[in-house]
Structure formats: C-alpha cells, structure tokens
Structure 1
C-alpha cells in the first residue's frame, strides 16, 4: 500500500503529515493517513524527528510503536470500507455505538486484530478471519 519497507512507510506518513500541516492538497490515501495522525498528537514528535523514523520499537521499550498503531487504524478503516472480512462493518457499527466513540471502538478492535495477526505470523499462515470476527463479537457483549 505505502511501499515495501518500513522506511518507505514511515516517510509516507511523514510526507502526508507535512502536506496536511502546510495546507497542501492531499491524495485520498494521504488524507486518510493525515486524519489518523491528527487523532494521535502523542505521535507527532515521531514524525518530526529523523531519529524516530529510524527507531525500532520493541515490547521492552514500554512504548507503543506509533507506526504500527496508526497503521492498524488505517487497516481497520479499509476493512470497514470494503466489509472485508465480510461482517466486519456490522461489528464496527455495533462497537461504535457501544463505545459511543469511533476512536475508542477502533482501539478495542485493534486488540483483536493484533492477536489474529500475531497468531498468523507465528503459524506462517493467513489471518483467521472467523477468529477475528469472533473476537470482535465478544467485544460487543
């Protein structure tokens, strides 16, 4: 979507944000990225500092990887827009009503997405869409 490696992805985020802050026109994907960045002022420092673009984030750091976090928001947006996996749009709408906040609902959904992606990576397989949707259903109970 953004490129084939971490550096390209992070630079794309940075460029989209720079264009947004300068009031320049944005392509649709840049607009989506800029909207996600805007929701996360705690990550703005990572966009402004070249060292942060190169930084590795590990669980031992005790800090959320801002690039992964923002990327998951974008992934959720794309999943909901395309209703892929089938049924996710309905789950999303229910969770937004339950949480009364789109951003909070997405943060809850990220826990499910993260688990399913981690399990797929560990098993060397595609993510289990049924398990993902089941996890989302459990959130709305």
Structure 2
C-alpha cells in the first residue's frame, strides 16, 4: 500500500500544478491533482510558493490545510470511480441532484462527511466506519 509522507503529498500537488502551468506532460494522477488545484483558486498562491511544503496549518488558528483538502478531494475521486465504500457513488449522485448538478458543491458535501468520519475514527481510536460515512453523505443529500 502506498503511504506517502506529508512532504511527498505536498510536493505531488505542487509539482502537478507546476507541470500543468508549464504545459508539461502529466500522468493521469497528476492531471487529476492539477484539475483539483485549478478548481480551488484560493490555494493557487500557496501551491505556487515552495515554502508551503513546510508550513503548518492549524485548525485552532482558523486555518484550512489546503493539502489535506485537496487530498480528500483526490481520495473521493478514487472512491467514486470504484464505488468504494459501496453506495458512495449513489449517495454522491443524490448530492449532485440536490445541488442541481454543481459537481464541486456536491463533492464538498462528500468531503465534509469524509472529514467528520475521519475525525470520529481518530477520536474514538476505531477504524473508519465506511457505512456511517455513506449514511452521512445520504443525509446531506436529503437536506
């Protein structure tokens, strides 16, 4: 199983975005990463700053970690492509309908649910509850 370090993940997004901007050839995963960065213009300056590799983003200081945010997007992209956990694709589709086909808004609903599920797993010291995650997305779709 691939388990990149924090710096490797950050370098991956930074390099994917750099290659995209330079119109260089990207791998399929780099292309997805560059598209995710493109969809978040609020992160462009940070992603283009090589010093951001070492920056800490503290939630208690009101900071959002853009690399974590983009990584969750990437994870969700993979989940949706294989419907894993089972039912995530249908739950996302329901969110998509709720958001009138605004793909990014629907993905953010899924991202929030994933973040909550990850936080709960960390807090409880238990494995991620995939079914609770899918149910959370379904609840969000029904709002």
Give the shorter-chain TM-score range.
over 0.9
Q: Is the 8 A contact 1:46 1:53 kept in 2?
A: no
2:32 counterpart residue number: 32
1:61 counterpart residue number: 61
Deviation of 1:140 (Å) = 1.5
Deviation of 1:2 (Å) = 7.1
Deviation of 1:48 (Å) = 1.7
Q: Is the 8 A contact 1:57 1:65 kept in 2?
A: yes
Q: Normalized against structure 2, the TM-score is what?
A: 0.92
Runs (5+) with no aligned partner, structure 1 = none
- Whole-angstrom distance in 2 between the partners of 1:5 and 1:17: 19
Number of matched pairs: 141
Question: What SS is found at the alignment partner of 1:70?
Answer: helix
1:72 counterpart residue number: 72
- Whole-angstrom distance in 2 between the partners of 1:123 and 1:19: 40
Q: Is the 8 A contact 2:121 2:127 kept in 1?
A: yes
Does the alignment pair 1:106 with 2:87?
A: no
2:83 counterpart residue number: 83
- Whole-angstrom distance in 1 between the partners of 2:23 and 2:4: 28
Q: Is the 8 A contact 1:116 1:131 kept in 2?
A: yes
1:21 counterpart residue number: 21
Runs (5+) with no aligned partner, structure 2 = none
- Whole-angstrom distance in 1 between the partners of 2:51 and 2:25: 27
Runs of 4+ aligned residues of structure 1 deviating over 6 Å after TM superposition are none
Deviation of 1:119 (Å) = 1.1
